[in-house]
Amino acid sequence: MKLDVDALLDTRPAWVQRRWARTRAGVAADPARRRRWLTAMVVVWQLGEFVLPRRQLASVRLLLLTMVTFDSVATYVWVTIGLATEGNPLVARVMVLYGDGPGLALRALWSAALVIALTWLAERRSSVRPALLLVLVPLGAVTILHVTALASTWSVLLGS
């Protein structure tokens, strides 16, 4: 048995199919609406290609996986030396239940799985590619925060 992923991604609930059928009928009946609809579809497709071309998805995936790993390692260091606490309440609860290392390892694995799933979906659907920015920007900000804190900590420790 072969799983048809595209067919699975294209399946919609009955209420969505009804709404989609009404929209298609309305677009087919009105030429001005058809032009607007086509323009919107082309804009979404081009936005996906402009924001993140398909050929760059592999490097974005690697960057995101590196940032997730660095975030977990840096958080582990800050938590174990007592300089910080975990900001995510769900991860903090897991860390209380299973310990700092296993909790953050679980978070890193979960985050890596989400990154891989999102980039895999972005390879197949260009409209998903702008959503990668919703992951990339905040995670980049957290990474910059970790690097800044690490640099200031090292400068204090080394007496520079």
Q: What pLDDT, in 10s, does the model give residues 26-41?
A: 888 888 988 998 898 8
Answer yes or no: pTM beyond 0.85: no
Q: Which two tokens stand for residue 18?
A: 């009804």
Can you list the residues of the chain whose pLDDT is less than 50? none
Domain locations in the chain? Answer: 1-51, 53-158
Q: Report pLDDT for 158.
A: 81
The CA distance from 29 to 51, in Å, is 33
H helix count then E strand count, the chain: 7, 0
Q: Report pLDDT for 160.
A: 60
Distances (CA, A) of 88 to 63, 92, 103, 134: 22, 6, 11, 17
9, amino acid identity: L
The CA distance from 41 to 115, in Å, is 26
Q: For the purposes of burial, counting CB atoms within 10 Å of the CB of 119, is it exposed (0-12), middle (13-18) or buried (19 or more)? A: buried
Question: Would you say 80 and 155 are in contact if contact means Cβ atoms under 8 Å apart?
Answer: no
Q: Report pLDDT for 80.
A: 87
Q: Report pLDDT for 57.
A: 87
**What angle, 0 to 180 degrees and rounded to 10, lies between the N-to-C axes of helices 14-29 and 31-51?**
120
